[in-house]
Amino acid sequence: MIFDTHAHYDDSKFDEDRDELLASLAEAGVGTVVNVGCDIQSSQNSLDLSRKYDFIYAALGVHPSDIACLNEETFGWLRSHLHDDKVVALGEIGLDFYWEKDEAVRDKQRYWFRRQFELAKEEGMSVIIHSREAAQETYEMLKEMMAGSDVPVVVHCYSYSPEMAADFIKLGCHIGIGGVVTFKKAKKLKEVAKDIPMDRLLLETDCPYLAPEPFRGRRNNSALIAHVVDEIAGLRGISREEIIEKTEENARKFYGIA
């Protein structure tokens, strides 16, 4: 079944029909979802969802745009909750220079990116990377932090060049691909989806954001990942069943879910 490796069902856009929607996913062919934290509250919400639904797992972490919530106390909360049975990753963490132009704040992003990544290494957790308008610096930091480590890493919602994808893959990273690959102008991402090694490919929605065509601009959900499957299958010239089977295998291995 389809494995959605990155979702945000705790988002307020799902408040009116969250339970109904989640209950319908199995019928849509979705078997597993990882709900990903962006700050301390959403990390707690992700944990709560994972305890409520057997097929949902949680990732806990603080997005670079939300680092204002991080201090030694909240960092301690992250550390203490990584051992929950339903927590499978630390994330999403990383760098976002699209929104943030102030160099002092960018330094804080770098600091908390490193602190959270080192925590993941200490605890043996998989890591979900957010990187926007920061390709080279993300790469350089990962190259340093991943050295001598076997911690699984995914660059989620990948948005850079095929050449950069190859560099991340050489480090040992996985590449997360979602609805954007269906957009007509996403030529570079289509090339990435076509050419990267199959064992490094993970499917994601990042819902409620980035719905695929023909639903672009609407609220996204895991059932719509089927359109991503069809796009990648067409690009690679293989069956949709092969894409689903291999990406589920990849995701279960990445997150350590039997």
Residue 180 in tokens: 């954007």
Q: What Cα–Cα distance (Å) separates residue 211 from each residue in 82, 174, 220, 221?
A: 30, 21, 4, 7
What percent of the chain has a predicted confidence (pLDDT) above 70? 100
Domain with 153 in it: 2-255
The per-residue pLDDT for range 140-157, each reduced to its tens digit, is: 999 999 998 999 999 999
pTM higher than 0.85, yes or no?
Answer: yes
User: How far apart are alpha carbons 156 and 160 in whole angstroms?
Assistant: 11
Classified as helix, coil or strand, 148 is: coil
Question: What's the pLDDT score for residue 103?
Answer: 86
Q: For 2-11, 34-43, 98-107, 164-173, which range has the lowest pLDDT when averaged over its residues? A: 98-107
Question: What's the pLDDT score for residue 36?
Answer: 98
The per-residue pLDDT for range 66-123, each reduced to its tens digit, is: 999 999 999 999 999 999 999 999 999 999 998 877 788 899 999 999 999 999 999 9
* Token pair 């719905």: residue: 211
The per-residue pLDDT for range 169-215, each reduced to its tens digit, is: 999 999 999 999 999 999 999 999 999 999 999 999 999 999 999 99
- Output the average pLDDT for the chain: 97
Question: What's the pLDDT score for residue 47?
Answer: 98
How many distinct structural domains can be found in the chain?
Answer: 1
Question: What's the pLDDT score for residue 102?
Answer: 79
Question: What's the pLDDT score for residue 147?
Answer: 95
The per-residue pLDDT for range 236-258, each reduced to its tens digit, is: 999 999 999 999 999 999 999 98
How would you class 241 by CB atoms within 10 Å of its CB: exposed for 0-12, middle for 13-18, buried for 19 or more?
Answer: exposed
Task: Tell how strand 2-7 and strand 126-132 pair up.
Answer: unpaired
Residue 91's domain is classified under what CATH number?
Answer: 3.20.20.140
User: How far apart are alpha carbons 96 and 113 in whole angstroms?
Assistant: 11
Question: What's the pLDDT score for residue 189?
Answer: 98
- Confidence band, pLDDT 50/70/90 cuts, at residue 55: very high
